[in-house]
Amino acid sequence: MTHEYPELLDQLVCVCNVFARMAPEQKQLLVEHLQTVGSTVAMCGDGANDCAALKAAHAGISLSEAEASIAAPFTSKVADIRCVITLISEGRCALVTSYSAFLCMAGYSLTQFISILLLYWNATSFSQMQFLFIDIAIVTNLAFLSSKTRAYKGLASTPPPTSILSTASMVSLFGQLAIGGMAQIAVFCWISLQPWFIPFQPTHHDNDEDRKSMQGTAIFYVSLFHYIVLYFVFAAGPPYRASITSNKAFLMSMISVTVGCILLVVFYVSPIQYFLGCLWISQDFCFIILAVALLTAIISVLYDRCVDWISTKIREKIRQRRKGA
C-alpha cells in the first residue's frame, strides 16, 4: 500500500480497525502514519518486535518487564489492555489538575494584585503578616491538598481541553477576577461611608504599624474568602477527576480555613488582630463583609458552572462536526 497506492493510505488507516501479521518496522510505520493524519496514538506491546512502535507512539505501554519496557514510557503490571483505560483516565486527571493549579495560582495572584491596587490608592498596603497569612494558611495549604484528588473512575467520551489558555479557561478566570474585584471595590467604598470610619493618614515610615488602615482591613477580610472560593470553583471534578468530597484532606482543610476566617472577621481579638496588622471595625460591618463574601461565592460558583456547561456543549458540537467531516 505504501509503495503502490500511497494516495489510499490515509483513508485506509482511518477506517481500518484491525491490522495483523505486521513486521516491526511496519508497526512503527503505522503508528507514525496515524500521527500524520492527526490521531493521538497509544500502543501496547509485550515483545522486542514492538519496541520501535512503542517508542514512536504518543503513549507507549509495555505489557511485560522484558525488552519492550525499555522503549515504552509506561509499563503495566497487568498483562492485558485494560491498562489503556487507566492510563487515559490518569492522564486526563493529571492534565486537568495542571490546568486547575494554573488557574488557582493565576486567580490568587491577580486577586491580590487588585487588592494592592486599591490600597495603593490610599498610599498603603497589606502588612507583612497579612501577606504571610494569605500565602501560608490559605494558598499553600489548599494548593498542596487540591492536587491530591484522584482520577475519576469512569471515562468520558469528550476529552478535556488541550490548551491551558483555552477560551473557556480564560473566560472563567477573568470572570472570577471581575466578581472578586467588584466585591473588594464595594467593601472599599462602603466602609468609607460609615460614621465610625477613620481615614488613613499616610506617613513617611515604611513599617507595618504605618500601613494599618480600616479599608485595608476590610479588603483583607473579604479577599480571604475569595481565595477559598477560587480553589473551590477551580477544583475540577467529574468527568476527569473524582469529586471534591473524595479528597477528605482538602475538604476538611477548606472547611477549617473557612471557619477560621469567619471567626477572624467576626470576633476582634486584640493580640491576633495586632499581629496581623488589622484595625477594629464595627461588628455590624463585619457581618456585611460576610454577606458580601457569601454573595460573591454563590455568584462565582454559578458563573463557573455556566462556563463549564457551555464549553462542554461547544466541544461536543465541534467533535461531532469533525466526525461528520
Greater pLDDT, 217 or 200? 217
| Predicted structure pTM score | 0.83
Fold of the 6-81 domain: Rossmann fold (3.40.50)
Q: Are 173 and 103 in contact (CB under 8 A)?
A: yes
Query: Architecture of domain 91-324 in CATH?
Result: Up-down Bundle (1.20)
Q: What b/e string do you get for 160-180 counting C-beta neighbours within 10 Å, with b at 16 or more?
A: beeeeeeebbeebbebbbebb
pLDDT number for residue 232: 93
User: How far does Cα 247 stand from its chain's mean position?
Assistant: 15
How many other β-carbons are positioned within 10 Å of the β-carbon of residue 24? 15
pLDDT number for residue 316: 80
pLDDT number for residue 256: 95
What does the CA dihedral 46, 52, 53, 59 come to, rounded to 10 degrees?
80
- 29-54 pLDDT, tens digit each: 888 888 888 788 888 888 778 888 88
277 has a pLDDT exceeding 70:
yes
pLDDT number for residue 138: 93
pLDDT number for residue 311: 84
Query: Where are the domain boundaries for CATH 1.20.1110.10 in the chain?
Result: 91-324
Average pLDDT of the segment spanning 173-197: 93
Q: Whose grid coordinates read 514510557?
A: 73
142 has a pLDDT exceeding 80:
yes
Greater pLDDT, 190 or 36? 190
- 68-126 pLDDT, tens digit each: 667 788 888 877 888 888 888 988 999 999 999 999 999 999 999 999 999 988 878 88
Query: Where are the domain boundaries for CATH 3.40.50.1000 in the chain?
Result: 6-81
Closest CA to 77 of 65, 86, 90, 68: 65
Q: Is 117 exposed, middle or buried (0-12, 13-18, 19+ CB in 10 A)?
A: exposed
Name the band, by pLDDT with cuts 50, 70 and 90, for residue 21. Answer: confident
pLDDT number for residue 209: 64
Q: Are 205 and 170 in contact (CB under 8 A)?
A: no
DSSP state string for 38-68: T---EEEE-SGGGHHHHHHSSEEEESSSSTH
Average pLDDT, the chain: 87
At 277 the three-state DSSP class reads coil
pLDDT number for residue 324: 61
d(CA 74, CA 83): 10
Helices (H), the chain: 9-15, 24-36, 51-56, 68-71, 83-120, 128-132, 141-146, 167-191, 214-233, 248-266, 270-276, 283-324
d(CA 35, CA 31): 6
Q: Are 227 and 143 in contact (CB under 8 A)?
A: no
Name the band, by pLDDT with cuts 50, 70 and 90, for residue 289. Answer: very high
pLDDT number for residue 220: 94
Name the band, by pLDDT with cuts 50, 70 and 90, for residue 23. Answer: confident
pLDDT number for residue 8: 76
**Residues whose CB falls within 8 Å of the CB of residue 208, separated by 6 or more in sequence, listed in order:** 127, 128, 129, 277
Q: Which of 75-84, 143-152, 181-190 has the lowest mean pLDDT?
A: 75-84
pLDDT number for residue 135: 92
- 79, amino acid identity: A
pLDDT number for residue 261: 94
pLDDT number for residue 205: 60
The C-alpha cell of 81 is what? 489492555
